[in-house]
């Protein structure tokens, strides 16, 4: 489990197809504290660490299943050497829950369709897949590329968020452009509420 509070910006160092896709990700995390089998959310995708190293910089390797590739922006050639990624290590008991409960199981891919400055903040509008749009509500939470963000408004399959300058500095949200495909995880509570309503 994660909180959607990004704790590092990593960099894709290598991507290689070896049966499953394998990626090496550079990080500022102390990899001596990262156990084999640990979970790290990489742009919102919960991935398992299979190797670590420190040369030429701290890095960890992950394997990415075909299912994960198909459901995320990884399958849209979004991961390449040099790409920056939002990273978050798994939540520990006693950690502060600053965002919302995030599983790291991406539900689908949203498209960034509008980007404009509003004061010091940036307003972003996304188009969600139709089958996921019903789970997104004004003032609710979503995880976008792993970051916990608050929904401002919803209209059909589109929804908007505001990103403050601090968030752009400590995440990859300062890198995005219109047309980008963004990993979307809907709020777990919204999923269960909708499921319960299906039985009414």
pLDDT tens column, 158-184? 999 999 999 999 999 999 999 999 999
pLDDT of residue 198: 67
Single residue among 61, 89, 117 that ends a domain in this structure: 89
Total domains in the chain come to 2
Contacts of 188 (CB under 8 A, 6+ apart): 101, 103
Domain, as residue range, for 66: 8-89
For 135-165, write each residue's pLDDT tens digit: 999 999 999 999 999 999 999 999 999 999 9
Task: Please tell me whether residues 165 and 127 are part of one structural domain.
Answer: yes
Claim to verify: residue 84 and residue 128 sit in the same structural domain: no
94 occurs within a structural domain: no
The number of CA neighbours under 13 Å toward the Cβ of 19 is: 2
Nearest to 125 by CA among 157, 156, 160, 151: 160
pLDDT at residue 118 tops 90: yes
99 domain-assigned: no
E runs forming strands in the chain: 8-18, 20-26, 39-42, 45-53, 59-64, 84-89, 108-118, 121-127, 141-144, 147-155, 158-163, 181-186
Q: How far is CA 163 from CA 32, 88, 98, in A?
A: 33, 18, 16
Of 89, 122, 157, which residue constitutes the final position of a domain?
89
The three-class DSSP label of residue 195 is: helix
The answer to whether the CB of 87 falls within 8 A of the CB of 40 is yes
63 assigned to some structural domain: yes
Domain-located, residue 96 = no
Average pLDDT in the chain:
93
Quick one: pLDDT band at residue 196, thresholds 50, 70, 90?
Answer: low
pLDDT at 195 over 70: no
- 98 pLDDT exceeds 70? yes
Q: Are residues 116 and 84 in the same domain?
A: no
In this structure, are residues 181 and 76 in contact, taking their beta carbons and an 8 Å threshold?
yes
Is the pLDDT reported for residue 100 higher than 90? Answer: no
Q: How many CB atoms lie within 10 A of CB 2?
A: 27
Q: What is the domain-level CATH number for residue 182?
A: 2.40.30.20
Average pLDDT over residues 121-136: 96
Q: Beta strands 121-127 and 158-163: pairing type?
A: antiparallel
Residue 164 shares a structural domain with residue 115: yes
pLDDT at 19 over 90: no
Residue 96: predicted pLDDT: 73
pLDDT at 57: 96
What is the pTM for the complete model shown?
0.93
| C-beta of residue 4 within 8 angstroms of C-beta of residue 99 | yes
């Amino acid at each position: 489990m994660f909180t959607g509070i990004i704790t590092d910006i990593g960099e894709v160092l290598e991507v290689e197809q070896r049966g499953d896709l394998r990626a090496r990700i550079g990080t500022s995390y102390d990899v001596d504290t990262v156990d084999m089998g640990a979970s790290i959310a990489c742009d919102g995708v919960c991935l398992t660490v299979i190797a670590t190293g420190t040369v030429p910089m701290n890095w960890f390797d992950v394997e990415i299943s075909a299912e994960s590739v198909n459901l995320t922006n990884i399958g849209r050639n979004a991961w390449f050497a040099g790409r920056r990624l939002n990273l978050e290590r798994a939540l520990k008991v006693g950690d502060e829950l600053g965002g919302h409960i995030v599983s790291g199981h991406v539900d689908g891919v949203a498209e960034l369709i509008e980007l404009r400055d509003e004061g010091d903040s940036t307003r972003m509008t996304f188009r969600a897949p139709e089958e996921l749009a019903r789970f997104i509500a004004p003032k609710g939470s979503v995880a976008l590329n792993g970051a916990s963000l608050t929904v401002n408004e919803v209209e059909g399959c589109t929804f908007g968020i505001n990103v403050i300058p601090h968030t752009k500095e400590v995440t990859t949200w300062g890198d995005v452009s219109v047309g980008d495909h963004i990993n979307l995880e809907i709020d777990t509570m919204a999923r269960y509420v909708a499921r319960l309503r299906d039985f009414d």
